[in-house]
């Protein structure tokens, strides 16, 4: 079932969300000091392409620098990525078949706002 949801997700929302994360990652990597933000953006772009069957967990070794980095991320990139998830999630929820995808998109808003200190892991059945 997750394969089918991932394929539908990729066509309807995942590709465009991943493009947004890749653009943010490229901009962050061009500005040398923000390379950690760019790497986090690329990780989440990978997650945005194929989210079903994987989940996000908090890293135990994340500390004060992750908190500070997340605040900077929200100000410069996180708000427009979260807005993209919100708009796409609402548009997907208009149709009956898109409701699970819209809910999945809305669940990605927190990670788009605070990506540092998180890691992507497979879902254990």
d(CA 87, CA 102): 9
Tens digit of pLDDT per residue, the chain (125 long)? 778 888 888 887 789 888 988 998 899 899 888 898 899 889 889 988 888 888 888 887 877 888 888 898 898 878 888 898 899 889 989 988 888 888 888 888 888 888 888 888 888 75
The reported pLDDT for the residue numbered 123 is 83
d(CA 45, CA 18): 4
The reported pLDDT for the residue numbered 118 is 82
The strand pair at 118-122 and 54-58 is best described as antiparallel
CB 62 within 8 A of CB 117: yes
CB 108 within 8 A of CB 17: yes
């Amino acid at each position: 079932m997750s394969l089918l949801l991932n394929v539908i997700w990729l066509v309807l929302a995942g590709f465009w969300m991943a493009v947004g994360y890749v653009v943010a990652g490229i901009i962050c990597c061009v500005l040398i000091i923000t390379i950690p933000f760019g790497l986090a953006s690329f990780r989440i772009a990978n997650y945005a392409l194929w989210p079903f069957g994987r989940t996000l967990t908090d890293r135990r070794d994340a500390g004060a620098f992750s908190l500070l980095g997340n605040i900077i991320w929200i100000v410069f990139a996180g708000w427009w990525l979260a807005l993209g998830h919100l708009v796409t999630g609402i548009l997907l929820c208009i149709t009956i078949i898109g409701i699970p995808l819209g809910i999945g998109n809305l669940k990605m808003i927190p990670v788009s706002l605070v990506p540092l200190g998180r890691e992507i892991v497979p879902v254990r059945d």
